[in-house]
Amino acid sequence: MSSPSRFLSGVGTVDTQYPLGQYPFPDPFHTSGSSVTTTGSSSYTNDFNTLIGTDYTVSGTSSTFALGNGVGGIAVLTPGGTTTATAAYKPGTFVQFQSGNKLWYTVRFKASAVGSTKSFYAGLRNGASATDGLWFVKPASSTSVNLVSTVGSTATTLVTGVNTAADDTYLELSIYFDGTDILVYQEHALFARVTAPTIGSSGTTLTNAILSPVFQITPTATDTLTVDFVMVAQEVSR
């Protein structure tokens, strides 16, 4: 790593006449350089070197989602039984696909084993409900990881074979919604573009439900799902 650039007075993004004009950091709530703008941003990141107990709700009898031991921080989703479908989802949904507004999502995660009828996914979901969301899925009896959109409990595979899952091997997957199209990335490289998915209620390609991060695994043995990091952010109208 090279030496960092040094901005000794900070880096501002707001015109000097506004309240945050002398604030030495970018305005965390507005994006156009003016505090009177109606465009803002909202973001959530977790590198899992800390995990507050109320951050995630865990479904599945006796299942847990807790910090593990790993360089940089990890969290481990452990099902309470060998066939217990288990999810960890962030309550208080806060992101939504909106035409014209950008949205970013990136995650790095792995399953301890991927064979047999094990399945798992990571993505964005409508809290406790699996009826609406967008996630990277390894389905049962397959090692292909696909991007799947679910609207009103109807699932549509948007991109097949984004990556191939292997035992105890990390996947780093991302999407960028530019306000019109979804760009899908595998390990930092653009893999596919989903052109102009329709956003709305049941019967459309992309949900307009309000979402938050989720991790889910359906094991067949003593399987676990490990998450290295997750980030989701979007433009918002304030």
CATH of the domain at 168: 2.60.120.560
Let me know whether 96 and 144 are in one domain. yes
- Is 70 exceeded by the pLDDT of residue 36? no
| pLDDT greater at residue 238 or residue 61 | 61
Let me know whether 32 and 93 are in one domain. no
Q: Residues 27, 175, 130, 109: is their CA dihedral positive or negative?
A: negative
Distance of CA 212 to the CA centre of its chain: 7
DSSP string covering 130-188, please? EEEEEEEEE-TT--EEEEEEEETTEEEEEEEEEEE--TT--EEEEEEE-SS-EEEEETT
Let me know whether 31 and 145 are in one domain. no
User: Quick one: what percent of the chain has pLDDT higher than 90?
Assistant: 82
Q: Which pLDDT band holds residue 142 (cuts at 50, 70, 90)?
A: very high
C-alpha–C-alpha distance, residues 24 and 229, integer Å: 27
pLDDT of residue 33: 59
Give how many domains the chain has, as a whole number: 2
Which phi-psi region, left, alpha or beta, contains residue 28 (left: φ > 0; alpha: ψ -120 to 50)? alpha
Let me know whether 145 and 209 are in one domain. yes
pLDDT of residue 19: 83
Let me know whether 174 and 233 are in one domain. yes
Let me know whether 138 and 232 are in one domain. yes
Let me know whether 147 and 222 are in one domain. yes
User: Quick one: what percent of the chain has pLDDT higher than 70?
Assistant: 97
Let me know whether 110 and 217 are in one domain. yes
Rounded average pLDDT over 53-63: 95
Contacting residues for 52 by C-beta, under 8 A, at least 6 apart: none
Let me know whether 120 and 56 are in one domain. yes
pLDDT of residue 37: 61
C-alpha–C-alpha distance, residues 215 and 120, integer Å: 8
Which phi-psi region, left, alpha or beta, contains residue 2 (left: φ > 0; alpha: ψ -120 to 50)? beta
Let me know whether 107 and 125 are in one domain. yes
Q: Residues 80, 85, 91, 94: is their CA dihedral positive or negative?
A: positive
Rounded average pLDDT over 59-85: 97
Identify the domain containing residue 48 by its residue range: 43-237
Q: How do residues 144-199 score in pLDDT, each as one tens digit?
A: 999 999 999 999 999 999 999 999 999 999 999 999 999 999 999 999 999 999 99
Is residue 103 within 8 Å of 187, Cβ to Cβ? no
Q: Which pLDDT band holds residue 35 (cuts at 50, 70, 90)?
A: low
Let me know whether 55 and 27 are in one domain. no
Is residue 49 within 8 Å of 73, Cβ to Cβ? yes
Backbone dihedral angles phi then psi of residue 14, each to the nearest 5 degrees: -120, 140
CA atoms within 13 A on the CB side of 160: 3
**176, β-bridge pairs:** 104, 183
Let me know whether 117 and 184 are in one domain. yes
Rounded average pLDDT over 26-48: 79
